[in-house]
Structure 1
Amino acid sequence: MPLLRSNTADKFIVDRRKPHRNSDVARAVRKTRDRLSHRPGALAFDRELLKLHANAMVGSATAIPLLVLAITATGIFIGMRGEIMVWALLTMICYAGLALYAHRVEKSETTKLETARTTRNFLIGHFITGLGWAYFAAINCNECQVDQFPIVKAVVLLLAMAATALIASSLRGALLTTFALPVAVYAAFGVTEPDPADLVMLALLALSLPFFVYVASRLNRSSVMLLSFRSEKDGLIAELETAKSMSDEARRRAEEANLAKSRFLASMSHELRTPLNAILGFSEVMSNEVLGPMQNPTYRDYARDVHDSGQHLLDLINEILDLSRIEAGRYQLNEEPVRLLYIVEECCHLMELKAYNKNLKVIQEFEPELPRLFADERAVRQITLNLLSNAIKFTSSGGEIRVRVGWTAGGGQYISVKDNGPGIPAEEIPVVLSAFGQGSIAIKSAEQGTGLGLPIVQGLLEMHGGEFQLHSKLRVGTEAIAIFPASRVMEVLPALPTKAAVAVGGRRR
């Protein structure tokens, strides 16, 4: 079908003159690609890590203070009062300040975070909390009733390091910044006597710091992987949404184009058919010499050619309009009980002359006593004529066409038209079934056609809830099968007994 180009139509369907008609979609795609390319070290990725660290600090804001309170209560119980109370107050203030800053970072927008400044402030806050643990490491309790007080301090520091390694793993260097000074202070002031047990605990504490740093780094790597997976998931979701929006836009434009095509065909059908009818009528009058003989026989031949060409053009317009109505869902079915056998038999009779002119043998194989079919008679007739016309068109002289009508395995009814023509290559069957599609053999050997017969057959069968099948093999032939579903088959009414039939007839009289 020729494409009508005009400023109005192009502007209605797709405004191709607009240079940035897809700018929003393009920006969404670029943004999605950027998110998918985020890796550790990228600015947005570091901001996410800082937000994760702030969330962890706020969520565990009571964990370390509870540990401090438990240590303070134990110290008071064993006789420590002044120093342990000062340490508890100092440590609680340090952790409260760190928690308040983490809360502020958590509430701020991710895009407005300054990564270098926020990281520095977090590390300073952890270092300040480490001052409290350094003060605890320097405390001595000579009046306490605990013989191994340095060991107790080492155990408390180990617990604090383990808790910090779990909580602050999202921020690299947080554990080392917090506990490097307390471990050094413990080594300098925490062990007053060179007791072997104290020395062992000092070595254990010194070795535990790099061990917990390693554990924190592994947890940090896990957090990084978690953020990476989440970022990729969000990016893929955004990519899917972008593709969906582009698909919706393309579908909308296709629907607009299809609507414009339908409107064009509907408005032009009358304008195209009216002059064609005049051309056909006058050319037929001239070719039949109704108004008198023509002196020049060449003119008479030209008139026949004009009539044949006009008839072909009218057939093409009718097929295009039928296919357009089917695609637009405006083809109205006039459904009624019909006899499939009678329709196919009449169609075979109509095509006898064409088959005879090509010396083709038409074999009819009909199953007897098929019940009625609830269908549109005109559509069924058009399906049959299209299949027969294709078979006659593509079968060489002297061939045969086998037409069958019968039951399907599922209880439906079918029409089969099989010829022994040249066949269709398997890769060309989708082309043949598309609108205006013709195979290579059809182009070379067949009569002039539009390529709309089979698409119309498919559309009419789909409207009946049926199915169309096309089987072909090169140099063997082609079989086209139109299947009507079992839901279209009407039940056969049982015959009334003789006495009942007479009684019913008497009452009617």
Structure 2
Amino acid sequence: MALLDAISADKNIVDRRKLPRNKDLSVVVRRARDRLMEHAGIRHFERELLFMHTRALIVNAAMLPLFITLIAVAGVLAGFGRDVVVWAGITIGLYVILGLLARRLEKIGITNEQVKNWQIIYLGGHFLTSMGWAYFSFLSCSTCGISLFPVIQAVVLILAMAITAIICSALRAAILAAFTVPVITYTILATSHLQSPIQATMVVMLFAGLAFFYLVATRLNRSVSVSLALQAEKDALIAELETANAMSDEGRRRAEEANLAKSRFLASMSHELRTPLNAILGFSEVMAKEVLGPIQNSTYREYAGDIHASGVHLLNLINEILDLSRIEAGRYSINEEPLLLTDIAEECIHMMDLKARNKGIRLLPQFETGMWPMQADERSLRQIILNLLANAVKFTPQNGRIDIKVGWTAGGGQYVSVRDNGPGIPPEEIPVVLSAFGQGSIAIKNAEQGTGLGLPIVQALVHMHDGEFHLFSKLREGTEALAVFPRARVLQNMDSAPKSAAAKKVA
């Protein structure tokens, strides 16, 4: 028969797989999800971009001056003389001024109101560097013997554009501020001294390069803006989720405190509830048995019997609720002593035999021989087995059978199994019947409805003995409840313990 392993409940045997829905928590999470989903446009991050531009200028402060120095050294070696050195000194000095501006901004910081002013200051600094590159366009050397020097100038300007576009992408207008004047200067000089079609080609390439690198800077700027927007949304979402998590923790803490207060209250009410109920049971039993004399009216005798039966049912209900409350409150203590599991099982079978025979149900014990004592609480073991037998008798049809097995597990522990041939439990309802006050659809239809606390109490008591409780069931074939106790509770060495075929099945 295909068996379905039940999901074990936690220590407090409260089913927490379906938490109550917190309305405030749902609102916070939904608001965060909506903010993440809606994308009406990219927010402007001028201040962040300005700081990124500042950091890029500081980190790459030596790149363009080094590039200019290499050009100057090559010019000197080619015979340009003092002009190229003067140009290099002036241009590097202009970049030093730009770097000092960046250092100043990093040191003092800015507010959102100052962003526009500093953008203008930066663009002014880049415009100053354009004077150096415009000066470079004026350089010439008739004695150097380089006929294609204008081509070299254009190539140098294009390389400088590329470096500037990458470094200054956070302030995309910087490429225009730094190279519009040099390109126009080169174009004017090439037009007035046009010597070959190559210079015309260089002019076209310079304008195309300026437009292209401005487009590159624009794309990089947009990518950075998108990254900043996503980071901002991520930070906002994390903040809202942390808020939701805090709300959830607070709600769970309050629920646990309320549950603990309830459990402590019920555990402390044991004496107050049982004392008057015992009096009701005692007097109703005296009346029902006519101890003090016969009752002439038979209806009164029936009423007295009904009162006693209802009182017994109420006492059992109170006992189960109080047991569960003591377990949840941590006040259920166990008194461990050496016990034989077979002896406890025999006593429980004897106690349930009369109720089973009234329904024509056969109780069939199957105990393995050579069982050794284990350290356990007698009252708890008796309650475990009685609850399992009571459930089996309740749901087993007339003339059915219940198999009670006690034996060894494959790991050297011991187990008790109660198996009936009743209607079974649907797979999706097994977690329900293992939760406090949970009842399956078959139990609800049954005339002998209980509190739904029997199996949770069994599960908790087994866990208190470091064991495992499993519930296997199949519709129209029956249910098996299995309580497994670990090897550590067996009082003697289990190396030579007998292993039956049934024990090998239970791992």
Shorter-chain TM-score bucket reads 0.7 to 0.9
Question: What amino acid does structure 1 have at the position aligned with 2:135?
Answer: Y
CA distance in 1 between counterparts of 2:489 and 2:319 reads: 27
The equivalences for 1:410-421 within 5 A come to 410-421=411-422
* Residues 299, 111 of structure 1: alpha-carbon distance in 2 compared, 3 angstrom cutoff: farther
From the superposition, tell whether residues 423 and 243 of structure 1 become closer, same or farther in structure 2 (CA, over 3 Å): same
Report if aligned partners of 1:54, 1:102 keep a CA contact under 8 Å in 2: yes
* 1:185 CA drift (Å): 0.8
Residue matched to 1:138 = 138
Gap change, CA 1:226 and 1:32, over 3 Å in 2: same
Match of 2:378 in 1: 377
Q: 1:70-109 CA deviation, whole Å, 9 max, x = no partner?
A: 4455556644436853x44553454344334444554677
SS at match of 2:295: coil
The answer on 1:154 being equivalent to 2:154 is yes
Equivalent residues of 1:466, 1:482 under 8 A apart: yes
Q: 1:404 to 1:56 in 2, by over 3 A?
A: same
Alignment partner, residue 355 of structure 2: 354
Residue 343 of structure 1, CA deviation: 0.8
After superposition, the C-alpha distances for 1:46-86 in whole angstroms (9 at most, x for unaligned) are 4433332222122112222333344455556644436853x
Amino acid at match of 1:195: S
- Larger relative CO (CA 8 A, sep 6+): 1 or 2? 2
Residue aligned with 1:369, SS = coil
Q: C-alpha displacement at 1:334, in angstroms?
A: 1.8
Give the whole-Å Cα distance in 2 for the aligned partners of 1:263 and 1:419: 36
Contact persistence 2:264–2:329 (CA under 8 A): no
Paired residue type of 1:257: A
Please give the per-residue CA displacement for 1:252-282, whole angstroms capped at 9, x wherever unaligned. 1222112221232133223222222222222
Structure 1 CA distance, aligned partners of 2:278 and 2:36?
64
Please, what TM-score do these two structures have when normalized by structure 2? 0.82
Equivalent-residue separation in structure 2 for 1:205 and 1:48 (angstroms): 31
Q: Which moved more, 1:236-245 or 1:447-456?
A: 236-245
Q: What code does the residue aligned with 1:455 have?
A: P
2:112 paired residue number = 112
**Inter-partner Cα distance in structure 1 for 2:451 and 2:354:** 22
Which string of whole-angstrom CA distances, capped at 9 and with x for unpartnered residues, describes residues 321-377 of structure 1? 211222333322222221111111111011111111212111111111112222222
User: Could you list the per-position Cα deviations for residues 188-244 of structure 1 after superposition, in whole angstroms to 9, with x for gaps in the alignment?
Assistant: 126735135444433433332233334334433443454355445545544553343
- Residue 481 of structure 1 corresponds to which residue in structure 2? 482
SS at match of 2:269: helix
Contact 1:49 1:171 in 2 (8 A): yes
Tell me the CA shift for residue 440 of structure 1. Answer: 1.7
Long gaps (5+) in structure 2: 1-22, 497-507
Is the deviation greater in 448-457 or in 234-243? 234-243
- Alignment match, 1:187: 187
Q: Is the alpha carbon distance of 1:160 and 1:445 closer, same or farther for their aligned partners in structure 2, counting shifts above 3 Å?
A: same
Q: Which runs of 5+ in 1 are unaligned?
A: 1-20, 496-509
Distance change >3 Å, CA 256–CA 242, structure 1 → 2: same
Kept in 1, the 8 Å contact 2:264–2:325? The answer is no
> Residues 396-431 of structure 1: CA distance to partner in whole angstroms, max 9, x if unpaired?
222111111112233322111111222222222222
Matched position secondary structure for 2:466: coil
Instruction: Specify the alignment match of 2:424 in structure 1.
Output: 423
The AA in structure 2 aligned to 1:209 is L
Please, what TM-score do these two structures have when normalized by structure 1? 0.82
For the Cα contact (< 8 Å) 2:165–2:172, is it kept in 1? no
- Aligned mates of 1:32, 1:115 — CA distance in 2: 32
Specify whether residues 397 and 303 from structure 1 end up closer, same or farther in structure 2 by C-alpha distance, changes over 3 A only. Answer: same
- Does the aligned pair in 1 maintain the 2:190–2:200 contact within 8 Å? no
Kept after mapping to 2: 8 A contact 1:57/1:168: yes
- Contact 2:72–2:84 under 8 Å retained in 1: no
- 1:58 counterpart letter in structure 2: I
Q: Is the CA contact (8 Å cut-off) linking 2:28 and 2:240 kept in structure 1?
A: no
**Retained in 2: the 8 A contact 1:38–1:231?**
no
Counterpart contact for 2:75–2:84, Cα < 8 Å: no
SS of the residue aligned with 1:351?
helix
Percent of aligned positions that are identical: 56
CA contact 1:433–1:455 (8 Å) conserved in 2? yes
- What RMSD in Å do the two structures reach over aligned CA positions? 3.3
Q: Given residue 360 of structure 1, which amino acid in structure 2 is its aligned partner? A: I
1:55-454 paired onto structure 2 within 5 Å? 55-72=55-72, 78-81=79-82, 84-85=85-86, 87-88=87-88, 90-106=90-106, 112=112, 116-141=116-141, 147-189=147-189, 192-228=193-229, 230-231=231-232, 233-235=234-236, 237-454=238-455
The structure-2 alpha-carbon separation of the partners of 1:103 and 1:278, relative to structure 1 and needing over 3 Å to count, comes to farther
Match of 1:507 in 2: none
Q: What letter corresponds to residue 157 of structure 2 in structure 1?
A: L
The 1-side partners of 2:183 and 2:212 are apart by 13
Task: Find the aligned partners of 1:467 and 1:319 in 2 and give their Cα distance.
Answer: 21
**Residues 177 and 431 of structure 1, relative CA distance in 2, 3 Å threshold:** same
Query: Which residue is 1:470 aligned to?
Result: 471
Show the counterpart of 1:501. Answer: none
SS at match of 1:416: strand
Distance 2:387 2:108 in 1: 71
User: Is contact 1:465-1:485 (8 Å) kept?
Assistant: yes
Decide which moves more: 374-383 or 202-211: 202-211
